[in-house]
């Protein structure tokens, strides 16, 4: 029954996006973002804990509230773009984006192997892989299925456009290794909390946090460069994808230290991007839960 409720509201949202002028839709989305901010006390607290841990007194109360409110706005506008991208042509999709520092990718690709794109839940992270697949060919990612089977089918259909292929989290490493061996690209979001069993401790915004070593492990095993790529926007119409200097995972006799250095470098570039424009990161996730669980209660 719950599945059908999700589908009903999604179709209602699709109708709104497709048959309402954008100026009207903007007002509606802004209203619902404001409403969500007002009534969603649980995630509002999570965002506040995260912002306090990351910035302490470097940001004032007003700015922290503004960033939290923007999280809800980002989600709704990203949902609208998700709907608009269903069945979109490659030409129209790529008209939305401008790619910067592309030489970091082309240089890494000269090795004749695949490349690992590193990104985060930042900006329009669902649009990013579609553009990567449409521009550079087959792209493999890892994703968790939604609890709703019907909505998961909608999500997968959208993600599988333009050469994008998703692997289940369980056993994904084998698929990623195979893809890179075949010269295909891999894209992974690695900015969320993990359990002590799955992650290693690194420094993130001056605080200890658990971070998945999966990208570093794959990079080290295959000698594949990691190319950070992040997407951002100022108007939810035009998007900028920017590549950054590749991260190379060393392969010395000390594998543990090789992985730690690579993972720390990944966390460092993500922090750098967030600090440039913090209102585009997904602050509603309990990023430091592994080390500061009591703060989120």
pLDDT value at 8 more than 90:
no
pLDDT in tens, 232-271: 999 999 999 999 999 999 999 999 999 999 999 999 999 9
Question: Which span out of 91-95, 142-146, 161-165 was modeled with the highest average pLDDT?
Answer: 91-95
List the end-to-end C-alpha distance of the chain, in Å, as a whole number: 31
Domain for residue 250, yes or no?
yes
Domain for residue 128, yes or no?
yes
pLDDT given for residue 1 in this prediction: 63
Categorize the per-residue pLDDT at 155 as very low, low, confident or very high, splitting at 50, 70 and 90: confident
pLDDT (mean) for 20-37: 94
Residue 159 lies in domain: 2-291
pLDDT in tens, 58-94: 999 999 999 999 999 999 999 999 999 988 999 999 9
Domain for residue 264, yes or no?
yes
Domain for residue 115, yes or no?
yes
Domain for residue 201, yes or no?
yes
pTM of the complete model:
0.93
pLDDT value at 169 more than 90:
no
pLDDT value at 2 more than 70:
no
Q: How many domains are contained in the chain?
A: 1
pLDDT in tens, 182-240: 999 999 999 999 999 999 999 999 999 999 999 999 999 999 999 999 999 999 999 99
Categorize the per-residue pLDDT at 7 as very low, low, confident or very high, splitting at 50, 70 and 90: confident
Least confident residue range of 9-13, 18-22, 122-126, 257-261: 9-13
Higher pLDDT, 224 or 170: 224
pLDDT (mean) for 115-129: 96
Domain for residue 77, yes or no?
yes
Categorize the per-residue pLDDT at 152 as very low, low, confident or very high, splitting at 50, 70 and 90: confident
pLDDT given for residue 3 in this prediction: 72
Domain for residue 296, yes or no?
no
Higher pLDDT, 286 or 1: 286
Domain for residue 297, yes or no?
no
| Look-up of token digits 């090795």 | 111
């Amino acid at each position: 029954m719950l599945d059908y409720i999700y589908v009903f509201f999604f179709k209602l949202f699709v109708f709104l996006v497709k048959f309402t002028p954008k100026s009207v839709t903007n007002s509606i989305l802004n209203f619902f973002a404001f409403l969500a901010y007002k009534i969603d006390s649980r995630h509002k607290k999570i965002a506040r804990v995260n912002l306090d841990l990351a910035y302490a007194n470097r940001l004032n109360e007003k700015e922290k509230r503004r960033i939290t409110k923007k999280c809800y706005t980002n989600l709704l506008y990203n949902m609208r773009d998700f709907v608009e991208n269903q069945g979109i042509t490659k030409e129209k999709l790529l008209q939305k984006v401008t790619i910067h520092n592309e030489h970091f990718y082309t240089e890494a690709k000269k090795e004749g192997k695949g490349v690992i794109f590193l990104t985060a839940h930042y900006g329009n992270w669902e649009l990013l892989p579609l553009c990567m697949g449409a521009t550079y060919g087959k792209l493999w990612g890892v994703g968790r299925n939604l609890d709703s089977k019907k909505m998961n089918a909608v999500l997968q259909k959208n993600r599988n456009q333009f050469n994008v292929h998703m692997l289940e989290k369980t056993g994904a490493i084998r698929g990623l290794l195979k893809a890179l061996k075949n010269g295909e690209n891999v894209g992974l979001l690695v900015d969320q909390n993990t359990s002590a069993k799955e992650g290693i401790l690194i420094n993130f915004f001056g605080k200890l946090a658990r971070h998945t070593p999966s990208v570093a492990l794959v990079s080290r095993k295959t000698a594949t460069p990691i190319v950070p790529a992040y997407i951002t926007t100022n108007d939810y119409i035009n998007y900028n994808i920017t590549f950054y200097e590749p991260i190379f995972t060393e392969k010395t006799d000390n594998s543990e230290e090789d992985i730690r250095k690579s993972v720390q470098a990944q966390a460092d570039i993500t922090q750098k991007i967030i600090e440039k424009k913090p209102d585009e990161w997904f602050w509603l996730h309990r990023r430091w839960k592994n080390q500061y669980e009591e703060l989120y209660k």
